[in-house]
Amino acid sequence: MKKKASLSSFDRASIVEKLQSRYYDLVIVGGGITGAGIALDAASRGLKCCVIEKQDFGAGTSSRSTKLIHGGLRYLKQLEIGLVREVGRERAILHQNVPHLVHPKQLILPIIENGSLGGNSTSVGLYVYDLLAGVKREERREMLSKEEVLAIEPLLNEEVVEGAGKYYEYMTDDARLVIEAIKTAASFGAQSINYTEAEEFLYDLNQKVIGVKVRDAFLEQTYSIYGKTIVNACGPWVDTLREKDKSLKGKHLKLTKGVHIVVPHEKLPINQLCYFDVNGDNRMIFAIPRAKVTYIGTTDTFYENQLERPDISQADVDYLLSAVNFIFPQIELSKEDVVSSWSGLRPLIHEEGKDPSELSRKDEIFNSETGLISIAGGKLTGFRKMAERVVDQVIVELRKQFGHSIELSETENIRFSGSEDEATNHPAQFIEDLFKNYHHLGLSHEQLKELFYKYGCNTATIVASINDIDRERADSIEQKLLLAELRYGIEHEMVNCLSDFLIRRTGRLYFDRENLAKIYPFLLDEIALLFDWSSEQKMKDLEEFEKEYKAVLDF
Ligand code: FAD
């Protein structure tokens, strides 16, 4: 096995040196789930590869999704039988390989008067879906009468609800799935780096692409990375890169924006995931309880503005509030109840005359005459299979040009970082064991559970390092744990700033914003100390984080 690549932010300068001096089999531009998945597939097949990400890992669409590993029910509606099978299988593989991040949750599909779903068609549809997607016996669909569904979800609108389908979806944490994929790829030698933008492609005399000129935002340094093959996995930016390559012809992307809003769980205290019709629109949205909050989404509208921070309008919020207030009429949610939000862009393939929700979610590979391979479309759920298809193609190219041998994808059987220990298949027992091992530190079950569902078995590394935290830096166990988590992020997950830690590594901006004001000045002091920042650097980071902190309520 290749030497493990570093993901420590303290090693940035030496990582940059390495990237400049190596000749890679594969250079991947884009560090969302697509790029991370490709790196894992390629590195585990023995290819020397790297990932270049211009923002933080997952900062594009891959931290802004509904955070579900879907079973592919919507594909059944479109009669895409092969896809239902593939997606169902992918879901099972991800659950097996990343149990700390992909886990089943019960979902209610209310049948409503004059709604888009009829009782009989839902029953038959879910039955066929269970068979096609290979759903486990204990997770198969059940049809509920009006009385039964109101007993388990009493807030539903009893005037219109006629019954429900009950089945399972798998919840995840998209940004953490990206970082765990990046870490797993690193264990096979793949080098990844964030805050490094591919500014232009480099070509040989035959106009074949041979590398990328990149700019490191932290070291303020421009340099070149060379590779035998180059993949563009830039999600919503795929066409921007194809344009740089002068190969933007034929099919192109159509972006649609999806907004989620977050309310405290006590404001929408539902007991399970609900997926329901938007009254008067031919669409459905989710309401998803998660720890202290419930999040609601998503919208689906065409988008043509700047890509880095898609805005959230009053109309987006009103659309979601009105849908949720119709199906749960007792709660009367208003704009003032919203405590956070996010907005993401779906990188879909353009199809003439179709509405946003009708555009296919299928992925597609574009091959340029320069040799640049671009991958667009798809879903978080299908990333492993997408990666396999891209790397299959890369390998054919490497064989043709450089005589590489063909290795088949092995990712079906690779357990991710945090899930290497098979004991993570049994979360309750794993958390109990952690509690027994570390209760002398004064940690609660709740704290350990929260850590487990982010870091899996790496929780033990974080907790064990609490003893190394200087008593002068933190006096309570909460503060010590926070600093231990931060240090883990810097040393193992390339955390460079407050936003990396509070938004993508821990999701606190979305799921615990109300408590952030108490902790972020303290965390900023620690980051500044660890990176030896000047007061200007510290101020800049604070301003950048506060921009994000305010933006989630700016609509
Ligand atoms: P991205 O995550 O956007 O990654 C591309 C990366 O490329 C970005 O991080 C960007 O910074 C980087 N980049 C761009 N230009 C450059 C450059 N020049 N140099 C270096 N890096 C560059 N799928 C599901 O399976 N389940 C869901 O529940 C789900 N919900 C969704 C809800 C919404 C609202 C949206 C928008 C999507 C949802 N999806 C879902 C789809 C899924 O999120 C996306 O398909 C997936 O995240 C796309 O990942 P990606 O890596 O292709 O793109």
- DSSP codes joined into one string, 423-480: GGGSHHHHHHHHHHHHGGGT--HHHHHHHHHHHGGGHHHHHHGGGGS-TTT--SHHHH
pLDDT at 367 over 60: yes
φ, ψ (nearest 5 deg) of residue 554: -100, 90
- For ligand 1, the distance from its centroid to the CA atom of residue 33, given in whole angstroms, is 7
DSSP structure string for 382-430 = THHHHHHHHHHHHHHHHHHHH-PPP----GGGPPPTT--SGGGGSHHHH
Asked if omega into 298 is within 30° of 0 (cis), the reply is yes
Predicted local confidence at residue 71, as pLDDT: 75
Measured between alpha carbons, how far is 33 from 176 in angstroms, rounded to an integer? 10
For the stretch 464-488, pLDDT in tens is: 999 888 777 888 999 999 999 999 9
Between 322-331, 355-364, 400-409, 461-470, the lowest mean confidence (pLDDT) is in: 355-364
- For ligand 1, the distance from its centroid to the CA atom of residue 416, given in whole angstroms, is 20
Contact 38, 62 (CB under 8 A): no
- Is 62 a pocket residue for ligand 1 (Cβ < 6 Å)? yes
- Is 107 a pocket residue for ligand 1 (Cβ < 6 Å)? no
From 379, 389, 390, 503, the mutation candidate for ligand 1 (largest count of ligand atoms within 8 A of CB) is 379
Contact 174, 347 (CB under 8 A): no
Which of the four pLDDT bands, split at 50, 70 and 90, describes residue 360? confident
Measured between alpha carbons, how far is 160 from 9 in angstroms, rounded to an integer? 54
Which of the four pLDDT bands, split at 50, 70 and 90, describes residue 345? very high
- Is 59 a pocket residue for ligand 1 (Cβ < 6 Å)? yes
Predicted local confidence at residue 296, as pLDDT: 98
- Taking CA atoms only, the protein residue closest to ligand 1 atom 32 is 65
- Is 37 a pocket residue for ligand 1 (Cβ < 6 Å)? no
Predicted local confidence at residue 507, as pLDDT: 98
Between 251-255, 288-292, 320-324, 533-537, the lowest mean confidence (pLDDT) is in: 251-255
Contact 165, 272 (CB under 8 A): no
Which of the four pLDDT bands, split at 50, 70 and 90, describes residue 100? very high
- Is 235 a pocket residue for ligand 1 (Cβ < 6 Å)? yes
Between 43-47, 275-279, 391-395, the lowest mean confidence (pLDDT) is in: 275-279
Which of the four pLDDT bands, split at 50, 70 and 90, describes residue 392? very high
- Is 66 a pocket residue for ligand 1 (Cβ < 6 Å)? yes
Look at residue 499 and give its three-state secondary structure: helix
Between 14-18, 76-80, 218-222, 390-394, the lowest mean confidence (pLDDT) is in: 76-80
Measured between alpha carbons, how far is 289 from 295 in angstroms, rounded to an integer? 6
Q: What is the mean pLDDT of the chain?
A: 94
Which residue is associated with the tokens 């270049």? 52
Measured between alpha carbons, how far is 372 from 387 in angstroms, rounded to an integer? 15
- Taking CA atoms only, the protein residue closest to ligand 1 atom 12 is 30
Looking at residues 448-468, what average pLDDT do you find? 95
For the stretch 104-148, pLDDT in tens is: 999 999 999 888 778 888 888 888 888 888 888 899 999 999 999
- Is 197 a pocket residue for ligand 1 (Cβ < 6 Å)? yes
- Taking CA atoms only, the protein residue closest to ligand 1 atom 44 is 379
- For ligand 1, the distance from its centroid to the CA atom of residue 105, given in whole angstroms, is 23
- For ligand 1, the distance from its centroid to the CA atom of residue 62, given in whole angstroms, is 4
- For ligand 1, the distance from its centroid to the CA atom of residue 203, given in whole angstroms, is 27
pLDDT at 3 over 90: no
Both tokens of 53, joined, read 């990400």
From 51, 61, 301, the mutation candidate for ligand 1 (largest count of ligand atoms within 8 A of CB) is 61
- Is 507 a pocket residue for ligand 1 (Cβ < 6 Å)? no
pLDDT at 279 over 60: yes
pLDDT at 175 over 60: yes
Does this model's pTM top 0.95? My answer is: yes
pLDDT at 212 over 90: yes
- Taking CA atoms only, the protein residue closest to ligand 1 atom 34 is 258
- Is 234 a pocket residue for ligand 1 (Cβ < 6 Å)? yes
Q: At what angle do helices 174-187 and 33-44 cross, to 10 degrees?
A: 20
- Is 68 a pocket residue for ligand 1 (Cβ < 6 Å)? yes
pLDDT at 1 over 60: no
For the stretch 399-420, pLDDT in tens is: 999 998 888 999 999 999 999 9
For residue 349, give the amino acid letter.
I
Give me the half-sphere count of Cα atoms (radius 13 Å) on the Cβ side of residue 240.
Answer: 17
Which of 530, 410, 506 has its CA nearest to residue 173? 506
From 34, 40, 63, 65, the mutation candidate for ligand 1 (largest count of ligand atoms within 8 A of CB) is 65
Looking at residues 431-458, what average pLDDT do you find? 94
Identify the bridge partners of residue 294 per DSSP, sorted by sequence position. Answer: 263, 289
Over pLDDT 70: what percentage of the chain? Answer: 100
Which of the four pLDDT bands, split at 50, 70 and 90, describes residue 510? very high
Measured between alpha carbons, how far is 231 from 201 in angstroms, rounded to an integer? 11
With vertex at residue 12, the alpha carbon angle to CA 11 and CA 14, rounded to the nearest 5 degrees, is 70
For residue 104, give the amino acid letter.
P
When computed from its CA atoms, the radius of gyration of the chain, rounded to whole angstroms, is 23
Give me the half-sphere count of Cα atoms (radius 13 Å) on the Cβ side of residue 137.
Answer: 0
pLDDT at 196 over 90: yes
Contact 357, 300 (CB under 8 A): yes
- Is 379 a pocket residue for ligand 1 (Cβ < 6 Å)? yes
Both tokens of 410, joined, read 């092995």
Predicted local confidence at residue 449, as pLDDT: 96
- Taking CA atoms only, the protein residue closest to ligand 1 atom 51 is 32
Between 289-293, 356-360, 525-529, 530-534, the lowest mean confidence (pLDDT) is in: 356-360
Measured between alpha carbons, how far is 239 from 248 in angstroms, rounded to an integer? 6
- For ligand 1, the distance from its centroid to the CA atom of residue 60, given in whole angstroms, is 5
Predicted local confidence at residue 12, as pLDDT: 98
Measured between alpha carbons, how far is 14 from 434 in angstroms, rounded to an integer? 35
Both tokens of 518, joined, read 């108490």
- For ligand 1, the distance from its centroid to the CA atom of residue 293, given in whole angstroms, is 24
Between 28-42, 45-59, 160-174, 343-357, the lowest mean confidence (pLDDT) is in: 343-357
- Number of neighbours of residue 267 by Cβ within 10 angstroms: 16
